[in-house]
Structure 1
Amino acid sequence: MSLIIAYIGKNGCVMAADKRKIGYFGDKENLEILEKELYNGEISSDEEFLKRAEDLDISVKITDDASKLKIVGKCVRGEVSTKGTFETRRRRIYGTTKGYQLVELLGSEVTSRKAGESGIIIFGNVFAKKMAENLVSKRFKPSSSLKSKGEIFEQIIKEISSVTPTVGSNCDVLRQDPLFSTSQAQKHLNLTIDHDVKVLVKFRQNLTEQLVQQSLEIEMSSKIIDEGDVGRVVSVDGNILYVQLNDKTQAMDENWKQLAGPGQNVIMFTENDNIKIGDKVIIKNEDLCLKKDKSSLKCDVILCSL
């Protein structure tokens, strides 16, 4: 659902990209029908697209704020991605003066990498790419400045967006023009891409850790005790109580790390001066208290079931 047009030449690199992103959900067979009609150019407007999606019982969300271009080192990077069931596939072009590389990734693993010195590269679906190639061949002026080339690419993207909902009219245009020889360009591209992929690996690792932590928080929050017995008093020291947890209760800190398991003691606090060894501790209506008189207790742990 993207269109990226890139020029790489002896004076620098310029890329233009739309900002459209489309998410949809529904029956697999109906999704395939909708995609086929989109990519064949049978659907020419957002209104037609939304109507056709409704006919096929497909839920659609269209946004026009996706950033597909980025300055990385002294290069411009363009990326299109497709989310699969388990991994995201990415196609990237890194361009600079007198050099570019095309990189394909599955997740954060590089599956293909090709280099070139100059040319016009277009990423897009079959319909949008073919139309862009035709328009570029008619309007591109090799002698024009990078700025002018970018303006032409932007006009082409806007024109294509008027005949297919797979491309949005909002555009980004980025340029880079460092003084590189052909060998310097490829050396810089290699260093930049290697670092950029490492950043992606680290990002995915952090994201995985966050998802694991969120999953743990969801799981543990469902185990927080809001009603029932939790233990009994085994020692009293002024307003400090030592409570032995029963065989179904554990104490966790705010990061869901276990501080005390069944049969172990936790510290609680009370303002009641009539506490006896053996008094039962319960949670009643989400309040921690003594069973015998419902006097309030406090603690610095989260009490959860096993």
Structure 2
Amino acid sequence: MSLIIAYVGKKGCVMASDKRKIGYFGDKKNLSKLEEELYEGHIDNDDDFLKRAKELGISIKITDDANKLKIIGNTIRGEVSTKGTFETRRRRIYGTKNGYQIVELLGSETESRKAGDSGLIVFGNEFAKRAAETLIKRNWKASQSLRYMGEIFQGIIEEVASKTPTVGKNVDVLMQQPDFDKTKAQQHLNITIDHDIKVLTKFRQELTEKLVQQNLEIEMANKIIDKGEVGRVVQIDGNMLYVQLNDKTQAVDGNWKRLAGPGQNVLMFTDSDDAKIGDKVIIENEDLCLKKDKSSLKCDIILCSL
């Protein structure tokens, strides 16, 4: 759902991209049908796209604020991506003066990496690419300045966007003109790309850890006890009660780390002078208390079911 056009050569690198992003939700078979109609150019505007999606029972969300281009050092990176069931597939072009590399990634693993020193490169679905390439042939002149190339690329993307909802009319244009010959360009690209992929790998690892933690928090939050018996008093020291947890209860801290399991003791505090060994401890209406007289108890732990 993207269109990226890049020039790389002795003048430098200029890259233009739309900013459209489309999210889908619905039946896979109908979604495939909708995508087929889109990519074959049978749907040519947003209104018809929304109407056809509704007919097929597909919910869609269109935004035009995605940043598909980024400057990294003396390099411009353009990326188109497709989210699969388990992994995101990325196709990237890294361009600078006198050099570019095209990298294909599955997750953060490199599947292919190709290099060149000059050229016009177009990323996009087949319909958008064909339309863009036709317009490039009509408007392109090798004598044009880098800035004028950028203006032409912007106009091409805007025109393609009028023919297909897969491309948005909001456009980013970036340029880079470092003092690189062909050898220095590839050396710089190698260093830049290697580092960029390492950053992606680290980001994915951190994201995975965050998702695991979020899933743990959801799981544990669902286990927090808000009703029922949790244990009994086994020792008393002033206003401190040592409560032995029953066989269905565990105690965790604020980070969901287990502090005590069934049969182990936890510390609670009471204002009552009538607590006795053997008293049952319960949670009633989400309040921790002694069962016999509902006198309130306090603790700095979270009580969860197993």
Asked whether 1:159 is paired with 2:159, we answer yes
- Take 2:160 and 2:214, find their aligned partners in 1: how far apart are those partners? 42
| Whole-Å separation in 2 of the counterparts to 1:100 and 1:182 | 10
Shift of 1:143: 2.2
- How far apart, CA to CA, are the structure 1 residues paired with 2:27 and 2:264? 52
Aligned to 2:94: 94
Give the 3-state SS of the residue equivalent to 1:77 in structure 2. Answer: strand
CA drift of 1:182 comes to 0.6
- Secondary structure at the aligned position of 1:47 is classed as helix
**Alignment correspondent of 1:77:** 77
Deviation, structure 1 residue 99: 0.1
Instruction: Identify the residue that residue 62 of structure 1 maps to in structure 2.
Output: 62
SS in 2 for 1:217: helix
Aligned to 2:138: 138
Quote the Cα distance in structure 1 between the aligned partners of 2:74 and 2:234: 68
* Residue number in structure 2 paired with 1:103: 103
The share of aligned pairs that are identical, in percent, is 73
Tell me whether 95-104 or 37-46 shows the greater mean CA deviation.
37-46
What one-letter code is carried by the residue in structure 1 that aligns with 2:231?
G
Counterpart amino acid of 1:87? E
TM-score after normalising by structure 1: 0.98
The residue identity in structure 2 corresponding to 1:117 is: D
1:47 deviates by 0.3
Cα distance, 1:41 vs. partner? 1.1
**Quick one: distance in 2 between partners of 1:83 and 1:108?**
13
Cα distance, 1:140 vs. partner?
Answer: 2.0
C-alpha separation in 1, matches of 2:85 and 2:185: 36
1:117 to partner: Cα distance: 0.1
Q: Distance in 2 between matches of 1:39 and 1:17?
A: 18
Aligned residue in 1 for 2:27 = 27
Helix, strand or coil for the counterpart of 1:94?
A: strand
- SS of the aligned residue for 2:224 comes to coil
Q: Within 2, Cα distance between the matches of 1:180 and 1:232?
A: 76
Q: SS of the residue aligned with 1:175?
A: strand
CA distance in 2 between partners of 1:240 and 1:176 (Å): 69
- Measure, in 2, the Cα distance between the counterparts of 1:300 and 1:147: 64
| Displacement of 1:304 | 0.4
1:237 maps to 237
Deviations 1:44-85 (A, max 9, x none): 100011111111111111111111001112100000001111
Are 2:224 and 1:224 aligned?
yes
Structure-2 separation of matches of 1:256 and 1:21:
37
Give 2:129's aligned residue: 129
Shift of 1:235: 1.5
Give the drift of 1:123: 0.3
Alpha-carbon distance in structure 2 between the residues aligned to 1:241 and 1:210: 37
Letter of the aligned partner of 2:31 in structure 1? Answer: L
Deviation readout 1:179-219 (Å, 9 max, x if unpaired): 01111100110011011011111111111111111111111
Secondary structure of 2:90's counterpart equals strand
Partner in structure 1 of residue 302 of structure 2: 302
Q: Which runs of 5+ in 2 are unaligned?
A: none
Counterpart of 1:214 in structure 2 is 214
Q: Which runs of 4+ in 1 moved over 3 A?
A: none
- In the alignment, the residues of structure 2 paired with residue 230 and residue 25 of structure 1 have an alpha-carbon distance, to the nearest angstrom, of 43
2:39 counterpart of 1:39? yes
SS in 2 for 1:37: helix
Partner of 1:198: 198
How far apart, CA to CA, are the structure 1 residues paired with 2:115 and 2:297? 69
Number of equivalenced pairs: 306
Distance 2:144 2:239 in 1: 83
Matches of 2:237 and 2:145 in 1, distance apart? 82
Tell me the amino acid that sits aligned with residue 191 of structure 2: L
Distance 1:31 1:231 in 2: 53
Unaligned runs of 5+ in 1: none
Counterparts of 1:17 and 1:262, CA distance in 2 = 59
* 1:162-195 residue CA offsets vs partner (Å, 9 max, x unmatched): 1110100011111111101111100110011011
Scaled by the length of structure 2, the TM-score of the pair is: 0.98
Counterpart for residue 7 of structure 2: 7
Task: Report the secondary structure of 1:234's partner residue.
Answer: strand
- How far 1:103 sits from its partner (Å)? 0.2
1:196 partner letter: D
